[in-house]
Chains A and B, each alone.
Chain A
């Protein structure tokens, strides 16, 4: 199993609010979970990642949590700013064989309203 379900597909928040995006996966042996941000007309950029040996990782206003038992991971953005507006993609690295690749969710369009 290599699918990644990402929700919501669109998210609109007021500047200063928090935003949460959730992803679920099916490959229980996956051990690497990155998040990418893609601004309009630009390439995806890695913003944070987490490996399966930790449950949470934080970098300034961005945090990622991982629940391996439930097979889901989430991106949390606090104190959102208009420049956070972009499409966010979660991904996971499959365990091996035909699953040894990054599989991406379909993305979440985040709009931060001033």
Chain B
């Protein structure tokens, strides 16, 4: 089976811009979770989608949003970028939240 893929792998944006990241899960996986990883903060949960429905959301401002399509592919969007949004954004897919498999991540740099 092909693994979880994320595009793009690297992204440089300036403050105030918006960005969309994409995640393609393992075939057959209906759950996609998104995490923000920064040094010292570990993996912070953004949100999780299952069969196109957001089941849970972490403690991030409304500038962070996401969606999931009928083929389980997911996107997350960050609007009005801030310097503090610079991070590695990881998505993970699973059948139903257990045994999550991570993608390679998108490294976002906000200048």
Contact = CB atoms under 8 A, between A and B. Distances in A.
A and B: bona fide binding partners: yes
A98 B40 contact: no
Chain B interface mostly helix, strand, loop or mixed? strand
A45 B42 contact: no
A44 B97 contact: no
Contacts of B105: 43
Interface stretch (A58-66, A76-84, A100-108): A100-108
Given A44-B43, A44-B90, A102 B99 contact: no
A31 to B, nearest CB: 9
Contacts of B35: 104
B53 to A, nearest CB: 12
Nearest to B44: A104
A100 B56 contact: yes
Interface centre among A34, A49, A89, A101 (most CB of B within 10 A): A101
A91 to B, nearest CB: 8
B102 interface: yes
Given A44-B43, A106-B42, 15 more contacts: A34-B100, A36-B102, A42-B104, A43-B102, A43-B104, A43-B105, A44-B90, A44-B102, A89-B43, A98-B56, A101-B58, A102-B33, A102-B97, A104-B43, A107-B42
Q: Which 4 A-B pairs have the closest CB atoms?
A: A106-B42, A104-B43, A43-B102, A101-B56
